[in-house]
Amino acid sequence: MGDPRHQRVAPVRRVPEGFHRRVTLRVHIASHQERLARQWRHAAAALVGALGFMAALAAFAAYRAIATDVDHYAPPGLLGHLDYHLASLRMAWSAIQGNHMLLISGLLVASAGFIALLWWLGRRGMPSIQTGDRLLRR
C-alpha cells in the first residue's frame, strides 16, 4: 500500500477568529489604493490638459494681438473675396472686443464643470473602504 507516512492525514485546524474579516479588509485596502492611484493619474491628466488648453488660449491671444497689426499693413484685395469675410469678422470681433475675456472665462468654467461631472459620474458605484459595499450616490 505504499509508504505508511502518506496514509496519515493532518488534522483540520480551525480558522482563527476574524481571519475572513482581516483578509477581506486587506483586499479592500489594496483595491482602495489602486483606485486612489488611478484617480491621481486621471487628475494629473486633467491638470495637464487644462494647462495645455490655457497655453493654447494664451498663444491664440498673442497671435491675434500680433495678427491684427499685420492685417492692417496687407494691401487691400490681396486675398480677393476672403478680404470681405475677414473685414466682417474684424467688425464683429470689435463689437465684442471688451467681452472676450468674459467669453474665455465662461469657456474655462464650462470645461471645469464638464470635467467635474465626468469625475462624479466615474466615481459613482465605487466600493467603499469601510464596508466593501457599492455606493450609489443619487
The structure's pTM equals: 0.41
Scanning the chain, the segments in alpha helix (DSSP H) are 19-73, 81-95, 100-123
Question: Rounded CA gap, 43 and 40, in Å?
Answer: 5
**Residue 52, burial from CB neighbour count under 10 angstroms (0-12, 13-18, 19+):** exposed
DSSP-assigned beta bridge partners for residue 134: 127
Q: Where are the domains of the chain?
A: 18-123
Q: How far is residue 51's CA from residue 87's CA, in Å, rounded to a whole number? A: 32
Q: Report residue 72 as a C-alpha cell.
A: 492692417
Looking up cell 472665462 gives 105
20 has a pLDDT exceeding 80: yes
Is residue 136 predicted with pLDDT exceeding 50? no
**99-107: long-range contacts, CB 8 A cutoff, minimum separation 24:** 104/57
Q: Which residues contact 71 (CB under 8 A, 6 or more apart)?
A: 86, 90
pLDDT greater at residue 3 or residue 106: 106
Contacts of 112 (CB under 8 A, 6+ apart): 50
| Cell output for 22 | 482581516
Structure confidence by residue, pLDDT tens digits, 72-109: 666 666 667 777 787 788 787 776 666 667 677 778 88
- Name the most confidently modeled range: 19-28, 81-90, 122-131: 19-28
